[in-house]
């Protein structure tokens, strides 16, 4: 039985805004998470799972991905004893959409992970340390890298910086620039706190968008709608794009030199709105 939300299942992962992390040790949560409005769902076999439950969680994930479910999976870092077993177990799972590689610090870590999976399996490189940020451009350019994601909490532990957006601006900016240099989709930001209110989620996601990041991790399905809304074209943008495209279709004159760039931006907004199911709204 397939559980995936149809809209989200049809959305290319390069456009995914909300990335919902689900504890792999709680398989009863897999179905509800896949039925949520999260653009992408990640079964988390790393940070959420105690060492003595790693094997059991891995078996639960492989079973789910072999019986109709489709999801991403966060695997343990390459320097852990669990990495090789994680990839071996997932290599034949038919429902695997891709992996998130924890503690990515060097480009070869992505490539070595990709080589152990089916050809073409995308790797989300989760950058969680000062060394990872320093090597972000090389990681973005590595064979196998699909998108970069920011492990905010572990980065803060590694560096001692606060959660103030100014303190984290350099790291976020580095991931955004590296993604562009590596010709990747936009970088994915770290999650709001698990118990965050809708106001906090909206505020944090506005920071995400202002930094040029186009996705955000989430620890709760309650945060998904707020993340999706904040990282999608606004109502004003949709109205502007629709009016410009309708005028162009009706034969409006080209006007000044800014017309073609504005038309291209309107078409991009229209394409995103179509992908996110926003036009009817």
Q: How far apart are the first and last CA of the chain?
A: 29
Distance CA 210, CA 202 (A): 12
- SS3 of residue 203 by DSSP: helix
Mean pLDDT of all residues in 206-221: 97
Segments forming the whole domain that contains residue 257? 235-275
Return left, alpha or beta for 129; rule: phi > 0 is left, psi -120 to 50 is alpha, else beta: beta
Interatomic CA distance for residues 136 and 176, integer angstroms: 9
- The reply to whether 20 falls in a domain is yes
Number of domains in the chain: 2
Q: What is the pLDDT of residue 208?
A: 98
Residue 84 domain-assigned (yes or no): yes
Say if 99 falls within a structural domain: yes
Q: Is residue 280 part of a domain?
A: no
Residue range 48-88, pLDDT digits in tens = 999 999 999 999 999 999 999 999 999 999 999 999 999 99
| 77 plus 12 within the same structural domain | yes
Does residue 98 sit in the same domain as residue 15?
A: yes
The answer to whether residues 95 and 69 touch, using CB atoms and an 8 Å cutoff, is yes
Q: Is residue 194 part of a domain?
A: yes
Identify whether residues 269 and 159 lie together within a single domain. Answer: no
| Claim to verify: residue 137 and residue 34 sit in the same structural domain | yes
Pair (127, 246) in one structural domain: no
User: How distant, in Å, are the alpha carbons of 6, 143, 263 from that of 249?
Assistant: 31, 41, 11
Residue 178, both tokens = 């590296």
Please determine, for residue 281, whether its predicted confidence score (pLDDT) is greater than 60.
Answer: no
**Residues with Cβ within 8 Å of residue 149, at least 6 apart in sequence:** 19, 100, 124, 125, 126, 127, 187, 188, 189, 190, 215, 217
255 in the same domain as 156: no
Whether 1 is covered by a domain: the verdict is no
Q: Across residues 92-98, what is the average pLDDT?
A: 96
The pLDDT score that the predictor gives to residue 270 is 83
Helices (H), the chain: 6-10, 30-34, 54-65, 83-90, 107-115, 130-134, 136-140, 152-159, 165-181, 198-210, 224-230, 235-249, 259-275
Q: Does one domain contain both 271 and 203?
A: no
Instruction: Judge if 159 and 254 occupy the same domain.
Output: no
Q: Give pTM, 2 decimals.
A: 0.90
Across 202-206, average pLDDT: 97
Q: Say whether both 200 and 251 belong to one domain.
A: no
Give the whole-angstrom CA distance, residue 163 versus residue 167: 7
Q: Per-residue confidence at 121, pLDDT binned at 50, 70, 90?
A: very high
The per-residue pLDDT for 69 is 95
Q: How do 123-127 and 145-150 pair as beta strands?
A: parallel
Q: Are residues 133 and 266 in the same domain?
A: no
Q: Is residue 21 part of a domain?
A: yes
Same domain, 161 and 249: no
* Domain match, 152 and 255 both: no
At residue 8, the pLDDT reads: 84
CATH assignment of the domain containing 17: 3.20.20.60
- Any domain includes 281: no
């Amino acid at each position: 039985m397939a559980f995936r939300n149809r809209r989200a299942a049809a959305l290319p992962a390069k456009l995914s805004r909300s990335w919902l992390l689900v504890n792999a040790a709680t398989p009863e949560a897999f179905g509800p998470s896949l039925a949520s409005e999260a653009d992408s769902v990640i079964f988390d076999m790393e940070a959420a799972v105690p060492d003595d439950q790693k094997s059991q969680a891995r078996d639960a994930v492989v079973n789910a991905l072999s019986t109709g479910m489709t999801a991403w999976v966060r695997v343990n870092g390459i320097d852990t004893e669990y990495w090789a077993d994680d990839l071996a177990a997932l290599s034949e799972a038919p429902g695997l959409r891709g992996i998130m590689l924890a503690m990515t610090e060097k480009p070869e870590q992505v490539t070595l992970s990709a080589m152990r999976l089916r050809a073409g399996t995308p790797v989300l490189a989760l950058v969680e340390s000062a060394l990872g940020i320093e090597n972000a451009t090389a990681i973005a350019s590595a064979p196998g890298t699909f998108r970069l994601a920011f492990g905010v909490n572990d980065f803060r532990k590694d560096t001692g910086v606060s959660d103030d957006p100014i303190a984290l601006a350099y790291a976020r900016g580095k991931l955004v620039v590296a993604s562009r240099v590596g010709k990747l989709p936009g970088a994915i930001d770290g999650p709001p706190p698990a118990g965050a209110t809708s106001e906090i989620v909206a505020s944090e996601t506005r920071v995400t968008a202002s930094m040029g990041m186009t996705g955000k991790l989430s620890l709760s399905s309650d945060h998904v709608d707020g993340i999706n809304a904040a990282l999608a074209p606004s109502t004003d943008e949709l109205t502007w794009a629709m009016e410009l495209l309708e005028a162009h279709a009706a034969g409006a004159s080209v006007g000044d030199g800014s017309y073609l760039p504005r038309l291209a931006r309107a078409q991009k907004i229209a394409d995103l709105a179509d992908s996110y199911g926003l036009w009817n709204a």
